[in-house]
Amino acid sequence: EAAVTQSPRSKVAVTGGKVTLSCHQTNNHDYMYWYRQDTGHGLRLIHYSYVADSTEKGDIPDGYKASRPSQENFSLILELASLSQTAVYFCASSGTVNTLYFGEGSRLIVV
């Protein structure tokens, strides 16, 4: 069974603080993605990666950095968290058959 694991599952952060969301996949997939979802909305792409040590900007990259140190791991970094970054964040991986496997989501509240 393909698996994508996110941590932490829930976090409360202080405005201006640093937040790191981690994602680990055991699917042997090349592609990994970070999305955010705001209440009542679809998923918006923040960053993605198709190979280790390389990341690409998605549709809403401002305020976020990404890191792909290995094929299995993909992190999303908020250097200076802001109130507007309160959302649920989803990580996903994809292989050559173009089927996305999602993690369970990380709920971030910035106060």
Partner 1 sequence: GQQVQQSPASLVLQEGENAELQCNFSTSLNSMQWFYQRPGGSLVSLFYNPSGTKHSGRLTSTTVIKERRSSLHISSSQTTDSGTYLCALVNYGNEKITFGAGTKLTIKP
Binding site for partner 1 (CB under 8 A): 31, 33, 35, 40-45, 48, 50, 56, 58-59, 88, 90, 92, 94, 97-102, 104-105
Q: Which is nearer to partner 1, 13 or 43 (CB)?
A: 43
CB of 31 to partner 1, least distance (A): 5
Q: Which is nearer to partner 1, 83 or 97 (CB)?
A: 97
Q: If residue 69 lies in a helix (H) or strand (E), which one and from where to where?
A: none
CB of 81 to partner 1, least distance (A): 21
Q: Exposed, middle or buried: residue 11 (CB in 10 Å: 0-12, 13-18, 19+)?
A: middle
Q: Which is nearer to partner 1, 41 or 84 (CB)?
A: 41
- Tokens standing for residue 42: 């679809």
From CA 111, how far away is CA 16, in angstroms rounded? 10
Residue 19's Cα: distance from chain center in Å?
12
